Structure 1
């Protein structure tokens, strides 16, 4: 029980301070679990990131779920999910009441400051991972190739090709060291419960549309919409929003209500998939039930696949052929995150010279002064508000 409380409390702190979207979340996770707590090393962490990039659903939440599983079994994964997600769900619902205030200059300054800090956090994570995972000429070449591929071929297609090519090239040109004992591994054997999880993913994907069509109830319709969004959208985060808009507007809610919640989501920490809880509340005759449906249905498919495939993925790490491929995959992940840093994070956030200055200062504080990320988030938000007040934003 103490271990579960520890997992929950750590992820609760991350859920309250992890601004910037899924790629930034991966930076926060690396700082917390690789750099600070040593629950994983960079290679193990990159393996989890690579696995979750292969799977549909909210990649950063799946990585957090997998870390929780490795630390405390399936209950540890649930504790990690609850800790990371509850703050954004509660904040998002409360946020609706103050959206008009945050549409002013101060609100825009706050959001902008948080985006700039996200640039610094992701850059810090990319450089830190590069030092461990792309620290030879050949690994660096794989990382650069993945970066170029993801810049030229955006979205999930570029990401999956980068990871696959990284694995192939890694197998062909890299040498794998002898694997070390991993004390933190929990789910190492593929068992019937993992097969049930994978089967459940497909059963729900088929059954929910049938239930929604046959019952004509809003609850089943919402469960179907959110489950399909979580099951069929790769890349997570902002990628899921257009799909949800097409499903929800105008049949289940007004466009203005949808956009109001979308704007609130951008300003909050935690997973962007929590937006589904807001949509569920707005579209359901019973708001509390809608919140529960939205907060669970959109996450469940990704978690079922993560839980079902994690032991297979871990088992590959002890095979020498697979390890060489994973070394290439790890290097490709560095390039993938670097590409995400360039676009959309930096291209959307760095639009003025002062933006560059704030992002560089934030990176320097992380790299040299080693501030915790949550302190930098607070400082960045306050800086954005201050600049808005004096008219620089």
Structure 2
């Protein structure tokens, strides 16, 4: 690889993501192998491909254990995947991994899950991608569905038990940390776009005239406008934003990875149409035809939100909250589930299974889970065949800058909205600060931090020490 090509691949700084990773074991291993990876990041050249059955078995044995240890959020997930797939197993070289990571960043949906799917897809084809998806998410799906059913049936939503009191403020502290990590990487124009989108989202959530449900139209419009602004800015002689050239991309005709994927362009286009048709039809059936079916409504809400989420799990929180509270559950139930989801392995999108379970038991959990994950899964299969071509288009990269920056602003809005609803008294604030310091300063993993905050909240609650219980509204 020439020095020029290395420089072109540089924009996506995986090492920066790793520095923010919350999974200590993954980070330690990543740093230990970093020097080795710099000198040997190429997968072995295979003149004859490995049998498909062998590659499917590799996918199973690789992703089954990862589903149980993938704590720490997207940054930690990227570190874990790079360590296992590039450094240890050498499924692909550094450039291919970076390309696949970029695909997830440029599409709506859960970025780390899309990276799981695309890496397995590049190894064993479409069935390999689907198998990796289920293995990656299965532990979190089972636990959160079970918790949702139990909380809905056995816990009074107006009087949560003491051991759940500290989970909401503990979970919100992780959202603040995510916002800091995202915002630190924005350029000036990106920060402006993020600020505007955050202010608009906060306004929608707190205005007497504007309905909170208008977010389903306003948020996609803001994402589109953000992309248009950065595209126009990139055309200026002295742009305000920072734009980097697209990387080399894959050779779709000769690259063994593209051959393994085995999805022709016309099939990718058909898959894309499936996503569009499902999105349009569900909206028409629920909002125009007015079909009264709770399960259809669950699917429509989740599919619509999953189709416009850029930036990963934290961005989805304000949209989900606006749709499910108080229509499906109480505010306390929402935040209790958020705390549980933050402490589970796998993506935060698994939170959808908890929401569906609280509302409509196990069937609701499965429909909500498939609805929220569905768009991201379909789009990753649809876009991979086109990616070798799209990566050559400079304008496409510039548009993604604006879309991602605007999406990050929604995380900032979530910080404000979730703080106001989860931190109600001094005891909650103490839990918030305590958990935030553990995860941001001392690099504790998300599960340990959330559980520690929950324990502190239980100690301070009115059923135990009864400290700091005066509501802020009375101060």
TM normalised by structure 1 equals 0.67
Does residue 95 of the first structure (1) align with residue 151 of the second (2)?
yes
**Relative to 1, partners in 2 of residues 1:191 and 1:79: Cα closer, same or farther, differing over 3 Å?**
farther
Does residue 382 of the first structure (1) align with residue 455 of the second (2)?
yes
Contact 1:150 1:336 in 2 (8 A): yes
Distance 1:242 1:355 in 2: 22
Distance 1:260 1:358 in 2: 16
Give secondary structure in 2 for the equivalent of 1:95. helix
Name 1:366's counterpart in structure 2: 439
Contact 1:99 1:264 in 2 (8 A): no
Contact 2:117 2:133 in 1 (8 A): yes
Does residue 268 of the first structure (1) align with residue 315 of the second (2)?
no
Q: How does 1:207-222 map to 2 (within 5 A)?
A: 221=293
| 1:49 to partner: Cα distance | 4.0
| 1:382 to partner: Cα distance | 1.6
| 1:367 to partner: Cα distance | 4.2
Name 2:297's counterpart in structure 1: 225
**Relative to 1, partners in 2 of residues 1:146 and 1:93: Cα closer, same or farther, differing over 3 Å?**
same
**Relative to 1, partners in 2 of residues 1:112 and 1:175: Cα closer, same or farther, differing over 3 Å?**
closer
Name 1:65's counterpart in structure 2: 113
Name 2:200's counterpart in structure 1: 153
| 1:29 to partner: Cα distance | 1.1
Distance 1:360 1:259 in 2: 21
Distance 1:244 1:358 in 2: 25
Count of residue pairs the alignment pairs up:
344
Name 1:122's counterpart in structure 2: 178
Name 1:284's counterpart in structure 2: none
Distance 2:115 2:80 in 1: 14
Q: Which runs of 5+ in 2 are unaligned?
A: 1-56, 86-93, 122-128, 202-214, 310-315, 342-347, 470-475
Q: Which moved more, 1:379-388 or 1:193-202?
A: 193-202
- Looking at both structures, which has the greater relative contact order when contacts are Cα pairs under 8 Å and sequence separation is at least 6? 1
| 1:225 to partner: Cα distance | 2.6
Larger Rg: 2
- What does the per-residue CA deviation read over 1:126-166, in whole Å, with 9 as the maximum and x for residues that have no partner? 36xx3xx43xxxx2x12221222112322514344334423
Does residue 176 of the first structure (1) align with residue 244 of the second (2)?
yes
| 1:66 to partner: Cα distance | 0.9
Contact 1:151 1:339 in 2 (8 A): yes
Name 2:230's counterpart in structure 1: 166
- Bigger proportion of residues as helix: 1
RMSD of equivalent CA atoms: 4.5
Contact 1:111 1:381 in 2 (8 A): yes
Contact 1:230 1:301 in 2 (8 A): no
| 1:313 to partner: Cα distance | 5.5
Name 1:111's counterpart in structure 2: 167
